[in-house]
Amino acid sequence: MMDLSAYRDIFIEELNDQLERMDQSLLALELSPSVELVQTLFRAAHTIKGSASTMDFRELSDLTHEVEYALEWVREKKPEMTSKLIDTLFRSLDVMKVLRDQYIRGEAYADFRAVVREIKDLIQNPAVVGKLKVPQLQPAESIVAQVAVVSGKQLLSIHIVLEQKCMMKAARYHILRQRIEDICGTVVATSLMEKQSDAENEDDHYSQFIIITATSKDPQQLNAELSSDSDIHVLEIDPYMLESNEIAATSAPVELISEKEQTKASVTTAATSGPEEKVKTAQPTVRVSVERLDHLMNLVGELLIDQTSLADLSGSGARKEPSSLIQSISGVSDHMGRVIKELQEGVMKTRMLPIDQLFSRFPRLVRDLSQKLGKDLELVIQGGETELDRMIIEELSDPLIHLIRNSADHGIESVEVRAEHGKPSKGRITLTSFHEENHVVIRYSDDGKGIDGEKIKASALGKGIISEEQAARLTTQEAVHLIFEPGFSTASSVSEVSGRGVGMDIVRSQIGRLNGIIDIDTEVGVGTTFTIRLPLTLAIIKGLLVKVSGRVLILPMYNVAEIVRISPEDIQMIQGQQAILNHGRIVPFHRLCDKLNYPRTDRKSKTIPLVIVRSVDKIAAYAVDEIIGNQEVVIKTLGTYLGAMNHLSGATILGNGKVALILDASYLVSH
């Protein structure tokens, strides 16, 4: 019995991909039914069933088996795509996701018999079509297969079911076998239907068959070449993995199977997994293109050449003129600097993922909200190819979900109200992303009723969030930002979707943790737009170096709104708090040394260097002793030894070898 724990993470990653593919295909099928989408769903279900069965995940395998035959029924009978059919498939998919989550956490599996009954009732218990098993190779065939794999070819299993009306199936089988051999080069093995009785028609023996082939052809290209045959009813092409007993049956060592083939089909190795491996959690992974890895390897090669050059200069230094030696070292140093810069960018790109991996989760959410709320909603996604750090993408999910739920429940009107105001019956939610300098901008907008600043102000006043004096000073635009305050809500009742007064507070806190900034642009009766600006990555940042009480500290540049110098007379007292006037706006004033409990230093200059820091929707001005400049720094975590240091996001090592602390701007501004 083989231990499959090494394949678990690969299985979970593939499972997530296939479930996401099914989700998107079902959404597309509901909007525009097509044979291609049904085929995509069928292939995804077939892959999940095979992989789950291999990993001894019988619960998922059994459920997916029913889903697969439901899809086969759809493909064969071509029924009308009713809402009941689509909803049943979506519910099945939801249960599959629940089983996946329970598998990852090592929990007891949910009872899925109800959804199985629903599937069977829907398709009226169609007869189960017998399917061929993938053949097990004989020793001689295994040798041929292993030699092909070592030479760089891949093994494919080609499953073909001929049309029922196909005449002379035996002849068609031989023609197709020869055609596959001509295209692929090597046919390793074949498997035919077993005869059920002597009275059975000989032709039925060839009604479906599996051909194992070794080829360098791409599976999609092969599928395109074979699917044009009108006598082929079903065509499935999957990777084929040599079983351990097939390898052991030959004198060839296990190492003959290349790493590439093991990675491609490791989840299809037949074995039984132990229960203890289910307790482990899936490790986060990032898929990196081979082209990017090759580029990084080339850069490392250039660094090795520079290292050799420095070693040569070190050895010949005593024999060279100092000026000539310095010039040579300077040239190598410049080249190393350029290579390291390019290497840094290359490594950062390996952490980047297209934001579409996040956006693609939301069409299903909007669909479900549309049905639950009885509203006609449409989600438009633009800029899904924009790349962002994987860690930021994962943290963005909750804030965007809260924005969508609030828009659907509170922002977008009902069909009747929209008709009264001359709006289209379908409410539109738009998600857009794009790069802007060193930031990623995510713009979320809806064409709903907008946010009424005066209504927000009155609600905040009634809940005691602000005083009457504060309310009098707030502009309409400033009042709109009160929706981010904890416990704030204008909903008259708590609904299943929203209205608990916690959603927008979560949005602000999550964006703040990502060192992001959020703005609101709203117009009553027209709609609302939230603009979120985020750093590309949290691993390497451009920081502003400042000196405070003799210490060098760093503020992230994407939180620095402005650097100014003021005179002491510019500091005013407003309601017992120091503040300055910046571009007509009152900004709270603090001395950074006081904020950090550092001793004050004697100031010789007549002006005060000031850094205006912004985080999410808040802003504050901090006085420092000296502005040193900005540079890129690598953030190092402080660990748990120092305890809770909320005002620090990490530390870095400067060029002189000294450690500089990196301040958490969002914490400073909000506390």
**What tokens appear for 355 in the block?**
């934001």
145 CB-contact burial (10 Å; exposed 0-12 / middle 13-18 / buried 19+): buried
- Report the C-alpha gap between 280 and 207 in whole angstroms: 44
- Cβ proximity of 664 and 637 under 8 Å: no
Please confirm, yes or no, whether 46 is among the known catalytic residues. Answer: yes
- Report the C-alpha gap between 178 and 233 in whole angstroms: 18
H helix intervals, 411-568: 415-420, 453-462, 468-473, 476-480, 503-513
- Report the C-alpha gap between 403 and 385 in whole angstroms: 21
Q: Mapped to the 3 state alphabet, what secondary structure does 426-452 carry?
A: CEEEEEEEEEECCEEEEEEEECCCCCC
Contacts for 450 with CB less than 8 Å, ≥ 6 apart: 411, 522, 523, 524, 525, 526, 527, 528
- Report the C-alpha gap between 667 and 644 in whole angstroms: 13
465 CB-contact burial (10 Å; exposed 0-12 / middle 13-18 / buried 19+): middle
**Whats the size of the chain, residue-wise?**
671
- Report the C-alpha gap between 404 and 364 in whole angstroms: 12
- Report the candidate in 30, 45, 36 with the shortest Cα–Cα distance to residue 85: 30
Other C-beta atoms closer than 10 Å to the C-beta of 563 total: 14
- Report the candidate in 127, 123, 28 with the shortest Cα–Cα distance to residue 84: 123
Please confirm, yes or no, whether 68 is among the known catalytic residues. Answer: yes
- Report the C-alpha gap between 144 and 188 in whole angstroms: 7
86: left (phi over 0), alpha (psi -120 to 50) or beta: alpha
Indicate which residue of 66, 68, 72, 395 is catalytic: 68
Q: 């079983």: which residue's tokens?
A: 243
- Report the C-alpha gap between 372 and 296 in whole angstroms: 49
- Report the candidate in 634, 611, 612, 618 with the shortest Cα–Cα distance to residue 666: 618
Q: Mapped to the 3 state alphabet, what secondary structure does 311-372 carry?
A: HHHHHHHHHCCHHHHHHHHHHHHHHHHHHHHHHHHHHHHHCEEECHHHHCCHHHHHHHHHHH
- Report the C-alpha gap between 403 and 410 in whole angstroms: 10
Indicate which residue of 46, 65, 159, 410 is catalytic: 46
Taking the mean position of all CA atoms in its chain, how far away is CA 347? 18
For the chain, the C-alpha Rg in angstroms (whole number) is: 32
Indicate which residue of 66, 72, 159, 406 is catalytic: 406
Catalytic residues: 46, 68, 406
